[in-house]
Amino acid sequence: MNTESPNSMADQTQPQQNNMDCPPPVLVLGVGNILLSDEAAGIRVIEALQKLPLPEGVEVVDGATRAMELMDIIRGRKKVIIVDAVAAESEPGAVFRFGPGQLAEIKQMSISVHDIGVHEAIFFLRMTDELPEDIVFYGIQPGSLALHEGLTPEVNAAVKKVIDFVLEDLKNLPDS
């Protein structure tokens, strides 16, 4: 039996709605599949960042293999940093940095189903004029997409580099 008054229940739901309407201005989003070895590179970056002190207004999200849900996660942000594995036909552990102008290249380097979600989410947000102005995409060349958890040594080293790059990006945030 619910013993709370209607007013107290309304008070509890109001802040949640406000949080959904105004997400933190900066998002760091990692995507990938932890069951496919180096495909988890973006998730491993996120796991490491979640353990570090970050500037106020920064949200770090494990996007896993979500598809179109990414639109809601990205929408309303001022700056978005996305980390994922990309097939760039380079040596394992190579790191690439893309801006919004190179998003078509990211689509061509997609290596799994979730990449369609990232690219399509950005495409639809652009069409609805909701795309954040500042988007940075870090891609890491996988060495293995075998069915097991754990990164290859080359990609593990690349994850550490990308963490440093993201932390540097977060030092240069504009005032909100």
Average pLDDT by stretches of 10, the chain with 176 residues: 41 42 90 92 97 96 82 92 91 91 66 61 85 92 93 98 97 74
Question: Tokens standing for 75?
Answer: 């929408």
Q: What is the pTM of this model?
A: 0.81
Which phi and psi (to 5°) does residue 67 adopt?
Answer: -100, -100
Query: Which residue carries 């709605």 as its tokens?
Result: 17
d(CA 176, CA 168): 18
d(CA 139, CA 90): 11
Could you tell me where the beta strands, DSSP code E, fall in 1-129? 26-31, 58-64, 79-85, 95-98
pLDDT at 121: 80
Q: How far is CA 56 from the centre of its chain?
A: 17
CB 70 within 8 A of CB 119: no
Per DSSP bridges, beta strands 26-31 and 79-85 are: parallel
Amino acid at 27: L
pLDDT at 111: 58
pLDDT at 127: 87
CB 125 within 8 A of CB 76: no
